Structure 1
């Protein structure tokens, strides 16, 4: 006598759970850094150094610190600033 098991999977729910888990892990990876340098800031924003300097680098709210000849940006404060800055940009 053969026995079968029928399993039904809610694909939408599985995808949502996977996306939530992935987002959580990505946030953990991002929080491993305390500071970004200019190269990492460019990578995180998908912007060139020139674009960053043109768009928001000189905004007095933008958190930055020059140590020696290199700029450093605290990750949490910079992320908060970037989200605020982006929300202030006109939708064109």
Structure 2
């Protein structure tokens, strides 16, 4: 006969970690994101995102009615290029 004991706190911790991983996978599968999700993805405020990216004609954005949408993969590629360019010129960005 087997005797199994579970640490409830450890079990909760494991379940939450698996839930977090699954939520990240679901987010990655989202093809288009809105401005709020873009700000979260970039860890920047909306005014900063607007100044640096949204109104930049080279930034991969789509305007649908009054709403801005962004292709997640294209944004990642753009940000990778942009960050490399910023580092080449000293690594500082002025948002004024």
Q: TM-score, normalised by structure 1?
A: 0.63
Are 2:56 and 1:59 equivalent residues in the alignment?
Answer: yes
Q: Which runs of 4+ in 1 moved over 6 A?
A: none
- Hey, what does 1:20 align to over in structure 2? none
Which entry has the higher C-alpha Rg, 1 or 2?
1
Structure 2 gap segments, 5+ residues each:
1-21
Post-superposition Cα deviations, 1:14-66, rounded to whole Å, max 9, x if no partner, equal xxxxxxxxxxx787444311001000000000001100111222222201111
| Whole-Å separation in 2 of the counterparts to 1:86 and 1:53 | 17
What value does the CA root-mean-square deviation take over the aligned residues? Answer: 2.2
- Hey, what does 2:16 align to over in structure 1? none
Q: Which stretch shifts more, 66-75 or 56-65? A: 56-65
Distance 1:60 1:85, change over 3 A: same
Are 2:66 and 1:69 equivalent residues in the alignment?
Answer: yes
The alpha carbon displacement at 1:75 in A equals: 0.8
